[in-house]
C-alpha cells in the first residue's frame, strides 16, 4: 500500500470536494496530534478499486468537536449523534461520517504508538465483516498504511465474507441482511464459518427494529439485482423471519427484471416493495406496513396495489368506459400503477393501464371553476361536481370542444333552475 496509490484513489474515485475535505481533515488532525483513518466500506472499495458510495473516517478523539470545526464555514448539512460521539455530513448527496475511536488517546506526533493500534483495533472489532474491518491511516507519517488486525485482506482476496466473532449476528441480526447484500454485490461467498452462524441466528431477525429492518431492505432494493438477494434470503429463512408473508421465487425475480427493463436500472424501492407484496392479501400487506413502520407514501403505494388487485376483474374488461377507467386509476400513486402494470399477467389489464397513462390521465375539461361561475353557477361544492361531469363527458368523447362544454353547462344550469 503506498501513499501515491491512496492519493490517486481519493482524487479519481471521489468527488473533488470530498477529496479536498478528507485531505484537509487529515492536515487538521495531524496539526492537533490526532490520528485520522479511512475505515469500513471505503477501505474495502479502495482495495477492490471500486467507487465508494460514502466515506467513513475514524478519529482518535472526539469526532463531534473535530467535525464541527472542520465543517464550520462550509454550506453542508451536518448531523450530530451525541450518543455515539459521531457526526455525519451531507456533501451534495455524498455522506461523510466521522466517528470517534472509543477510548481517547493523544499520541506522540511523528510515531505510531502501540496504544493507537489498540484503539483502532477496538473500533474495527465492532464492525460487521472482516472485509469492512480495515482502516487506512491518513496521518502524514504513515499515510496509506493499512491497519488490518483481523485479516480482512485475506478474505477480500479469497472473495469471502466472514464475521469477526461467533456472536456477531446475535449482537446485531441486521448484519444478516448485510451479509446477503455484500455477498451478491461483490460476488463473494459467505464463509464456511459464517454461514452456519447466519442460519443459526436467522430466527433473531424479528428482534430488529422496524426502521432498521426497512433501512436494510431498502438498501437491498438499491442494489443492481435485488431479486438475487431476496432469493438467497428465501433460501436461508431470512425472508420468512423478516416479512412472514413475502415470497421470493422465479415469478418475483422475473418481475423485478421486467421492472428494470421497463423503467430503467434505478427502479424505485416503492415499485419493488409493491411487487414483493403483489401476491399478498390485504391483511398480510397491512401487517407488512406495520412491521416496517412504513411512512405515508410507501403505505399508500401498497394500499393502492391492494385496491388495484381487488379491481383486477374490472380492469380486465375490454368494454370499460374511459371515464370508469379514469375513476378507478386516477387516485392511485404513480408507483402503484407502475408496479401493478408489471405484476399484471393479463394483456388487457396492461392495455387499460397504458391507455390511462398515455392518454386519459392528461385529459382536463376546457372550462375551469371561474368559467362556471361566469356562466351563472353559484360558487360552492356544485362547481366540483359539474367539473367532474365535464371531465367524464370529455373522457368518453361526448364533448370535444369548449363550445360543447359551454352548451352542456348552460343546459345543466337551466335544468337546475327548473
Ligand atoms: P455501502 O457501500 O453499502 O455504503 P458500507 O460498507 O460503506 O457499504 P455503511 O452501511 O455505509 O456500509 O457502513 C459503513 C461501515 O460501518 C461498514 O463498512 C461497517 O464497517 C460498519 N457497519 C455498518 N453497519 C454495521 C453493523 N450493523 N454492524 C457492524 N458494523 C457496521
Candidates 3.60.40.10, 3.30.460.10, 3.40.250.10, 3.40.50.300; CATH matching 1-162 = 3.30.460.10
Closest CA to 233 of 166, 222, 208, 244: 244
**Cα 23 to middle of ligand 1, angstroms:** 22
Helix, strand or coil, per DSSP, at residue 56 = strand
Q: Which three cell numbers stand for residue 63?
A: 469526532
pLDDT value, residue 46: 94
Distance CA 175, CA 197 (A): 11
Average pLDDT value for residue range 243-247: 96
**Cα 296 to middle of ligand 1, angstroms:** 27
pLDDT value, residue 9: 92
Residue 111 has pLDDT above 50, yes or no: no
Local confidence band at 1 (pLDDT 50, 70, 90 cut-offs):
low
Q: Which three cell numbers stand for residue 197?
A: 452462524
What average pLDDT does the chain have?
Answer: 92
Ligand 1 atom closest to the CA of 174, numbered from 1 = 27
Residue 110 has pLDDT above 80, yes or no: no
What percent of the chain has a predicted confidence (pLDDT) above 90?
83
Distance CA 298, CA 335 (A): 9
pLDDT value, residue 82: 87
Distance CA 206, CA 59 (A): 34
Local confidence band at 105 (pLDDT 50, 70, 90 cut-offs):
very low
Q: Which three cell numbers stand for residue 397?
A: 368523447
Q: What are the two backbone dihedrals, phi and then psi, of residue 309, each rounded to the nearest 5 degrees?
A: -65, -40
Ranking 18-22, 115-119, 307-311 by mean pLDDT, the lowest is 115-119
Q: What are 285-335's pLDDT values in tens digits?
A: 999 999 999 999 999 999 999 999 999 999 998 889 999 999 999 999 999
**Cα 46 to middle of ligand 1, angstroms:** 15
pLDDT value, residue 141: 86
pLDDT value, residue 103: 45
**Cα 94 to middle of ligand 1, angstroms:** 15
Distance CA 251, CA 316 (A): 21
Distance CA 208, CA 198 (A): 15
Residue 373 has pLDDT above 80, yes or no: yes
Beta carbons of 177 and 238 less than 8 angstroms apart: yes
Neighbours of 71 (CB within 10 A): 19
Distance CA 33, CA 300 (A): 53
Q: What are 125-169's pLDDT values in tens digits?
A: 989 999 999 999 999 889 999 999 999 999 999 999 999 999 999
Q: What are 30-44's pLDDT values in tens digits?
A: 999 899 999 999 999
Q: How much is the pTM?
A: 0.89
- Given phi > 0 = left and psi -120 to 50 = alpha, else beta, which region is 187? left
If one residue of 48, 128, 194 were mutated to test the ligand 1 pocket, choosing by the most ligand atoms within 8 A of its CB, it would be 128
Residue 121 has pLDDT above 90, yes or no: no
Residue 114 has pLDDT above 50, yes or no: no
Distance CA 168, CA 98 (A): 23
If one residue of 18, 37, 40 were mutated to test the ligand 1 pocket, choosing by the most ligand atoms within 8 A of its CB, it would be 40
- Residue 296 CA neighbour count, 13 Å, CB half: 0
Distance CA 382, CA 384 (A): 5
pLDDT value, residue 104: 38
The H-assigned helical ranges of 14-166 are 16-31, 41-47, 63-70, 114-125, 152-158
Residue ranges lining ligand 1, Cβ < 6 Å = 40-41, 53-54, 56, 127-128, 132, 172, 174-175
Distance CA 337, CA 134 (A): 44
Q: Which three cell numbers stand for residue 378?
A: 353559484
**Beta-bridge partners for 88:** 79, 97
Q: What is each CA distance from 276 to 249, 285, 290, 308, 408, in whole angstroms?
A: 10, 10, 15, 15, 46
If one residue of 39, 47, 54 were mutated to test the ligand 1 pocket, choosing by the most ligand atoms within 8 A of its CB, it would be 54
Average pLDDT value for residue range 75-97: 92
- Residue 329 CA neighbour count, 13 Å, CB half: 31
Residue 416 has pLDDT above 80, yes or no: no
Please spell the DSSP secondary structure of 333-402, one letter per residue.
-HHHHHHHHHH---HHHHHHHHHHHHTGGG---S--HHHHHHTTPPSSHHHHHHHHHHHHHHHTTS--SH
The H-assigned helical ranges of 102-151 are 114-125
Distance CA 150, CA 155 (A): 10
**Cα 320 to middle of ligand 1, angstroms:** 51
Residue 336 has pLDDT above 60, yes or no: yes
Residue 211 has pLDDT above 60, yes or no: yes
Closest CA to 34 of 117, 105, 122: 105
CATH number of 244-362: 1.10.3090.10
Q: What is each CA distance from 410 to 11, 69, 185, 373, 377, in whole angstroms?
A: 70, 70, 64, 11, 10
Residue 117 has pLDDT above 80, yes or no: no
Residue 67 has pLDDT above 60, yes or no: yes
pLDDT value, residue 102: 57
Q: Scanning the structure block, which residue is given the C-alpha cell 368523447?
A: 397
Local confidence band at 406 (pLDDT 50, 70, 90 cut-offs):
very high
Q: For the chain, count helices (H), then strands (E).
A: 23, 9
pLDDT value, residue 60: 86
**Cα 177 to middle of ligand 1, angstroms:** 12
Distance CA 195, CA 387 (A): 62
More confident residue, 237 or 83: 237
Residue 113 has pLDDT above 50, yes or no: no
Domain borders along the chain are 1-162, 244-362, 369-417
Amino acid at each position: 500500500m503506498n501513499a501515491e496509490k491512496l492519493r490517486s484513489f481519493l482524487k479519481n474515485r471521489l468527488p473533488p470536494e470530498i477529496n479536498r475535505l478528507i485531505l484537509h481533515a487529515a492536515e487538521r488532525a495531524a496539526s492537533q496530534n490526532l490520528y485520522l483513518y479511512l475505515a469500513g466500506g471505503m477501505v474495502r472499495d479502495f482495495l477492490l478499486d471500486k467507487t465508494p458510495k460514502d466515506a467513513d473516517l475514524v478519529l482518535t478523539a472526539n469526532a463531534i468537536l473535530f467535525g464541527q470545526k472542520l465543517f464550520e464555514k462550509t454550506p453542508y448539512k451536518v448531523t450530530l449523534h451525541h450518543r455515539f460521539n459521531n457526526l455525519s455530513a451531507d456533501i451534495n448527496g455524498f455522506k461523510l461520517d466521522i466517528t470517534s475511536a472509543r477510548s481517547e488517546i493523544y499520541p506522540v506526533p511523528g510515531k505510531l504508538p502501540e496504544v493507537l493500534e489498540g484503539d483502532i483495533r477496538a473500533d474495527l472489532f465492532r464492525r460487521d465483516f472482516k472485509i469492512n474491518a480495515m482502516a487506512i491511516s491518513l496521518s502524514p507519517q504513515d499515510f496509506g498504511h493499512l491497519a488490518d488486525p483481523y485479516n480482512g485482506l485475506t478474505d477480500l482476496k479469497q472473495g469471502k465474507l466472514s464475521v469477526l466473532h461467533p456472536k456477531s449476528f446475535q449482537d446485531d441480526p441486521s448484519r444478516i441482511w448485510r451479509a446477503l447484500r455484500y455477498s451478491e454485490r461483490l460476488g463473494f461467498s459467505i464463509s464456511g464459518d459464517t454461514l452456519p452462524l447466519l442460519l443459526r441466528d436467522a430466527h433473531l431477525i424479528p428482534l430488529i427494529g422496524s426502521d432498521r429492518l426497512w433501512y436494510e431492505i431498502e438498501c437491498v432494493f438499491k442494489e443492481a439485482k435485488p431479486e438475487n438477494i431476496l432469493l438467497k434470503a428465501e433460501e436461508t429463512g431470512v425472508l420468512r423471519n423478516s416479512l412472514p408473508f413475502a415470497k421470493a421465487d422465479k415469478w418475483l425475480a422475473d418481475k423485478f427484471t421486467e421492472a428494470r427493463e421497463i423503467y430503467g436500472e434505478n427502479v424505485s424501492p416503492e415499485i419493488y416493495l409493491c411487487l414483493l407484496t403483489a401476491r399478498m392479501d390485504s391483511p398480510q400487506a397491512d401487517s407488512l406496513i406495520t412491521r416496517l413502520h412504513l411512512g405515508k407514501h410507501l403505505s399508500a403505494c401498497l394500499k393502492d396495489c391492494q385496491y388495484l388487485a381487488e379491481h383486477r376483474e374490472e380492469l380486465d374488461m375490454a368494454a370499460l368506459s374511459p371515464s370508469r377507467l379514469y375513476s378507478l386509476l386516477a387516485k392511485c400513486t404513480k408507483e402503484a400503477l407502475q408496479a401493478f402494470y408489471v405484476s399484471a399477467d393479463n394483456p388487457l389489464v396492461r392495455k387499460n393501464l397504458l391507455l390511462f397513462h398515455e392518454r386519459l390521465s392528461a385529459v382536463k375539461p376546457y372550462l375551469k371553476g371561474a368559467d362556471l361561475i361566469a356562466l351563472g353557477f353559484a360558487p360552492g361544492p356544485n362547481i366540483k361536481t359539474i367539473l367532474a361531469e365535464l371531465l367524464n363527458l370529455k373522457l368518453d368523447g361526448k364533448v370535444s370542444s369548449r363550445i360543447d362544454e359551454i352548451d352542456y353547462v348552460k343546459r345543466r344550469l337551466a335544468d337546475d333552475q327548473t
